[in-house]
Amino acid sequence: MKTELVTTLKREATKVLKELREQKEPVLITEHGKPSAYLVDVEHFESLQKKVALLEKLARGEKAISEGRIISNDQAKERLSRWLK
């Protein structure tokens, strides 16, 4: 992973963004020698957002199962058939 100073980003933003698009590798931005932010290309960010959304849905499903909030396959089909009428 590439690392850049925040001052470099300020001075050479166009160059940093061009390299980011070409290399598709996140850039760690540091400020005063400490990590401050990650710069990622749009495709990578959108992919991460989709993965997080999926993980959140899986977690809700697992929580429902652990709390006993489940229904049978036949019950699910019956409920869905009411919506599709």
Give the DSSP letter string of 27-80: EEEEETTEEEEEE--HHHHHHHHHHHHHHHHHHHHHHHHHTT----HHHHHHHH
pLDDT confidence band for 85 (50 / 70 / 90): confident
What's the mean pLDDT in 33-41? Answer: 97
Residue 66: pLDDT over 90: yes
Global pTM value: 0.70
Nearest in space to 31 (alpha carbons), one of 12, 45, 10: 10
Nearest in space to 39 (alpha carbons), one of 55, 23, 62: 23
CB atoms within 10 A of CB 12: 13
The C-alpha atoms of residue 65 and residue 84 are separated, in whole angstroms, by: 25
